[in-house]
Every structure is written in C-alpha cells, then in structure tokens.
Amino acid sequence: MFEASELNIRNRKVQRLFRILFLLMTLLLILPVAIILAILTWKGSSVINLSFLFTSPTEGMTAGGIFPALIGTIWLVSVALLFSVPLGVAAAVYLSEYARDNWFTRTINLAIINLAGVPSIVHALFGVGAFVLFFKFGTCILAASLTLGIMTLPVVIVSTWNALQAVPMAFREACWNMGATKWQTIRRIVLPNSISGILTGIILMVSQTAGETAPIMFTGAAFFLPHLPHSVFDQTMALSLHLFVLATQVPGVPEDLPYGVAFVLIALVMVMNSLSIAFRVYLRGKKKW
C-alpha cells in the first residue's frame, strides 16, 4: 500500500493552512457587511412602512417619509446612466478596436486612470464650475447627474474595455474573412458577446452613483424639497444627502429614522444591482463560448 511521503504530508498541511487562511480572510470581508446590514435592519425596520416610503418629510424632517428623496435618487442615477454609459462604451470601443498603441492612446489611458483617483469633492467643484456656472444649468438634476456621470466614467470605460478584450480574436477574424467591415463586426459580434461584462461596470456605477453625497450637494440636491421634480432642470432631494442631513444637521431626529433611510438606500442599490445581475446571467447563459 502506498504511503504518503514526508514531503506530501507537509504539502497537505500547508495547503490546508492556506485554505483556512483564505477562508478567514473571506469571512473578515463578509462579516462587516453582514453586521452593517443586520444593524440597519434591526434599528431601521421599525420605521419602514408604506407611509415612510410614499410620503414627504414633515415637522422639520423629524417625521414623515422619504418619497421625494427616493424619487430624486432614481432621477439622478437614471440621468447619470444615460450620459455615462453611451459615452463610456464608445470610448472603450475606440480604445479597444480602433486606437493604435502610441503616445496619444497612452495619454488617454493615463487620463482615465487619473480620473478614477480624483476625490469626489474635486468632481463636485468641477461640476459647479462646468455645469452650474459655465453652461448655466444652475443647481439642478442635470448638473448633478452630469457630475456623477463624469465621476463614474472610468468604471464604465475600464469594465467595457476588459469585456471587449475578452472576446476571442478568432470571432473578429472570421467576420473579416466573410467580408464584414470593422464596424459591422463590432456591432454584430463584439458588443453582443461583451454585454455581460459591460453590465458589470454599470452595476458598479449604479452603486457608486446612488451613494455619493459631495458631488450632488453642490450641484443639484436640495436640503429640503417636499415636492417632486418635473424635469431635469429642477432641484431634488436625494437619499444620500437626506441621510447626511438627518445625521448631522437636524436636531431632534428619532434615533431609528436615519437607520431607516440608510436601509432604504442600500435596498434600492441592491434591487438595481440584482436586476442588472439577473440580466447579465441571462445574457451570459446565451454565449456559445
């Protein structure tokens, strides 16, 4: 009967040790998230009801609901998506399919990397200078959403570029050999086979956009606005700013109210992400490679 050598026994012990180590590291990442969700659910569940979701704040925002802030957040995220997704995908298509490896392309890539590392407060000041003052949009949904879109462009560009690069070159060559142009190949083969990766970037963008406070605080979000916006040129409340205001600016706020707002914000992001993930899984299942 074969007996394990001393080297094999030692390798098994090392393998088991690293497996336990990586498991502990994973738990250390998951545990804080689980604790946060548990605390928000425990302390915020007492205020979550239909009245809280579908009424406006009252009594100096110490009572009532969050409906204007909820709708305002959806406005901000939707307009930011409409701006940044087409622009980010177009930029990634150029960098992946058309651009040559030269100083100009490397400069663009460096600019994208630097843009991803700019603090959100700097994006907020840029939004004030560019959209509020220079383009004279004023403080409104459009200015705030464009600021958020600029801030999240690197996420969309990088994730789309990676998804495009993951499409096998053989797919492109087969189309070219059949007489298809480069654009026809991109439109009919490359983009459809990379849509699941593009959705990954959109999911990350939604999460980041919905939770940002500084960029919208200076460009379009209102401290208190009990009515709903009618167009992108109106101001609006937002859940992230509303949560900040309740936690720091409004005296006499019930203890469970900020937790309820935070719970709704996270739930909104999770719902949006879940829909995107479900769609991504559906598209990934249709792949033939």
Q: What's the residue count for the chain?
A: 289
pLDDT per position as a tens digit, 45-97: 888 898 999 999 988 888 889 999 999 999 999 999 999 999 999 999 999 99
Closest Cα to residue 224, out of 59, 51, 76? 59
Residue 135: inside a domain = yes
Residue 63: inside a domain = yes
What's 61's domain CATH number? Answer: 1.10.3720.10
Residue 37: inside a domain = no
> Any bridge partners for residue 265, and if so which?
none
Residue 1: inside a domain = no
Residue 192: inside a domain = yes
Residue 136: inside a domain = yes
Residue 29: inside a domain = no
Q: Give the whole-angstrom CA distance, residue 204 versus residue 61.
A: 31
Q: How many domains does the chain have?
A: 1
Residue 43: inside a domain = no
Closest Cα to residue 222, out of 206, 235, 204, 207? 235
Domain around 128 = 50-285
Name the DSSP letter for residue 178. Answer: T
The answer to whether 156 touches 85, Cβ cutoff 8 Å, is yes
pLDDT per position as a tens digit, 237-286: 999 999 999 988 888 888 889 999 999 999 888 888 888 788 777 777 76
Going 31 to 277 to 41 to 256, the CA torsion angle's sign is positive
Q: Give the whole-angstrom CA distance, residue 124 versus residue 219.
A: 7
